[in-house]
Structure 1
Amino acid sequence: MEIRPLLMCFALCVVYATSKPTEKKDRTHHDPMLSSKEHDDADNFEYDHDAFLGEAEAKTFDDLTPEESKDRLGKIVDKIDADQDGFVTEAELKAWIKKAQKKYIYENVDRQWNDFDLNNDGMISWDEYKNVTYGTYLEDPEPDDGYNYKQMMARDERRFQMADKNGDHIADKEEFTAFLHPEEYDHMKEIVVMETMEDIDKNGDGFIDLDEYIGDMYNHEDEMDEPDWVATEREQFSEFRDKNKDGKMDREETMDWILPADYDHAEAEAKHLVYESDSNKDGKLAKEEILNKYDLFVGSQATDFGEALVRHDEF
């Protein structure tokens, strides 16, 4: 049986750390920009189109009449209105924008879904994931590759349980997405920090000291001189990572490092779209208000992604 995704990821991380001694490994997860285009509504709405629908999908626009654009946008608005109260709030719009920006993640989950959903019930249980991922590896007490699969499975199970919000040991698609991509979910941040510290904290004291910090991103065994960036990282650790200056990073300091509180681009764009479209200034958008500003949201075009979301209800 072949090694499954998380197991393969682990193996690749090991190869990465040992085969490229001068290449920096960055564990920091930054909030990505919504578009590479400049946000200048005086000139055009291209940034807003990318933000609302996803930059990759915005490139696949097909020319539509205003009537066709409004019709397709109306169907998308129905999806954005999560509580179906007839209005789109800033929070719902923010959630939609984040979802559009994470399209590549959902596609990744879709590609893997059928491999794990063995009984085709539209859910993935922990037993299904365990059997597919580890299978016969657990039957060999001393595998040739030297990996401790039982330890790795226990770590996966802990993450699965955190992603499983209702505690039924079964993951729906959103829970499984949180399991595979925990850095993208607020309620999974704790497990990301925990796993990172376990990876780097070689002496097991519950902290990350300077040597462990540098050792995680740089393997110096085969080199005489350190690259310049290593010296910079030592300064970064002392000046910024180790906030209380005790010579090591605790859980909070590690979280600030790998999951920094960056500017929330999705929230800012949601506020902007509501401000520009809310004609009666009640703080929320009726479908008519959005359609009246269809050029701001989709221009005279709509995307295949919008149509796909109309057809599918997984997310």
Structure 2
Amino acid sequence: MKMWTLSCLLCMTAVLQATFAKPTQEKRDRVHHGRDLSDHVHNDAEDFQYDHEAFLGKEEAKTFDQLTPEESKERLGKIVDRIDKDKDGFVTHSELHSWIKYTQKRYIEEDVMKHWREYDVNKDDKVSWEEYKNTTYGFYTDEEFEGVEDKNSYKAMLARDKRRFQMADQDGDQIATKKEFTAFLHPEEYEHMKNVVVQETIEDIDQNGDGFIDANEYIGDMYGSETEEEEPDWVKSERQQFIDFRDLNKDGKLDPDEVAHWILPGQVDHMDIEAKHLIYESDKDKDEKLTKEEVLGNWNMFVGSQATNYGEDLTKKHDEL
């Protein structure tokens, strides 16, 4: 297991080195957007796939796609009972928003549990820093990485992991609970971890090591050309963006506060918008809450089935003719 983990780490480092040695020709997006609820376009006139994935989560939506309409409706009815927390017979905006939030966060929980089983070596339902370090860097516990081709990169990676672990470990006992380990793996989801996200972003882009991001470093993270060809228009636009909107104090470089303003903007609550949308489209008596009958009456918006997918496929084939 240790050798496998270290091998993965070596591959990842090689990719990172290639990435930063030759900036891509494609624009890199460093902004942590509010995560959208589906990769599909939200267009109810075409299909309801966005709503299915928003309401169920991406993986569960795939399961519903394989069901008959009868099975899909039956399962949806059971979900409605779960959503109705106070058992008053209605699904309110608050209850639906909470449900969508739960389904959308489930992917994070699944990712954490996958790693949790690997790192909780002594099976005490906690992950200590030593467990994480030894599992990840096992054969190099002296932290010097002798014999590794690019040991400086590994030392930097270990230092970054340790700093992030310590920030996630809010009680400072060097042992992570599941919640703390989740913050370690997904720092962008937690307010108290945002300084780490900012610092890591600066370290990724700051080529001269001065702790700031100047205009050339900002552009170099997005675009690189080995020729002297003229920069594309979007690169010129980004240079102007740096001057007009990124460099707030106009000193020619981005400090941590300016980087935070750039990569961690106020986020749109897609879950709130989707909850309002589902209620608006299904609320027949316009009392701003849903009965089970109203949900089941518009079941194909909430969940999919073999029948709805078949209909969508027919529509697409028709359009292609």
- Give the TM interval when normalised to the shorter protein: 0.7 to 0.9
Indicate the SS of the match to 1:120.
coil
For the structure 1 residues 125 and 291, does the alpha-carbon distance in structure 2 shift closer, same or farther, using more than 3 Å as the test?
A: farther
Are 2:28 and 1:49 aligned?
no
1:139 matched residue in structure 2: 142
Task: For residue 197 of structure 1, report the CA deviation from its aligned partner.
Answer: 1.6
Match among 147, 154, 159 for residue 154 of structure 1: 159
1:312 matched residue in structure 2: none
2:314 matched residue in structure 1: none
Indicate the SS of the match to 2:6.
coil
CA-atom RMSD in angstroms: 3.8
1:217 matched residue in structure 2: 222
Report the structure number with the largest CA radius of gyration.
Answer: 2
Distance across 2 between alignment mates of 1:212 and 1:224: 17
Task: For residue 4 of structure 1, report the CA deviation from its aligned partner.
Answer: 6.9
1:191 matched residue in structure 2: 196
Distance across 2 between alignment mates of 1:44 and 1:148: 47
2:270 matched residue in structure 1: 265
Indicate the SS of the match to 1:63.
coil
Deviations 1:130-183 (A, max 9, x none): 111122224363443132544432321221233345655433444433322322
Match among 67, 92, 103 for residue 63 of structure 1: 67
On the 8 A contact 1:22/1:227 being kept in 2, the answer is no
Indicate the SS of the match to 1:237.
helix
Give the letter for the 1:225 counterpart: E
Task: For residue 111 of structure 1, report the CA deviation from its aligned partner.
Answer: 3.8
Identity rate, percent: 56
Match among 167, 176, 199 for residue 171 of structure 1: 176
On the 8 A contact 1:31/1:264 being kept in 2, the answer is yes
Are 2:21 and 1:25 aligned?
no
**Unaligned segments of structure 1, at least 5 residues:** 302-315
Match among 11, 14, 26 for residue 17 of structure 2: 14
2:310 matched residue in structure 1: none
Q: How does 1:69-84 map to 2 (within 5 A)?
A: 69-77=72-80
On the 8 A contact 1:23/1:218 being kept in 2, the answer is yes
What TM-score do you get using the length of structure 2 for normalisation?
A: 0.72
Q: Which region of structure 1 is more displaced relative to structure 2, 129-138 or 287-296?
A: 287-296
Distance across 1 between alignment mates of 2:293 and 2:128: 42
Match among 225, 236, 243 for residue 241 of structure 2: 236
Q: Which has the higher helix share?
A: 2
- Equivalent residues, number: 297
What TM-score do you get using the length of structure 1 for normalisation?
A: 0.73
Q: Which region of structure 1 is more displaced relative to structure 2, 92-101 or 209-218?
A: 92-101
Are 2:133 and 1:113 aligned?
no
Distance across 2 between alignment mates of 1:78 and 1:168: 41
1:201 matched residue in structure 2: 206
Match among 182, 186, 197 for residue 181 of structure 1: 186
Distance across 1 between alignment mates of 2:283 and 2:174: 43
On the 8 A contact 2:213/2:255 being kept in 1, the answer is yes
Deviations 1:19-76 (A, max 9, x none): 4554443322333443424343x7865432221013454344133454x445423544
Distance across 2 between alignment mates of 1:8 and 1:123: 28
On the 8 A contact 1:4/1:132 being kept in 2, the answer is no
Q: Which region of structure 1 is more displaced relative to structure 2, 126-135 or 105-114?
A: 105-114
Indicate the SS of the match to 1:139.
coil
Match among 238, 241, 246 for residue 251 of structure 2: 246
Distance across 2 between alignment mates of 1:285 and 1:188: 37
Distance across 1 between alignment mates of 2:266 and 2:158: 31
Distance across 1 between alignment mates of 2:137 and 2:176: 18
Deviations 1:177-220 (A, max 9, x none): 33223224444322211211233334454432212212333455
Indicate the SS of the match to 1:134.
helix
On the 8 A contact 2:202/2:211 being kept in 1, the answer is yes
Give the letter for the 1:188 counterpart: M
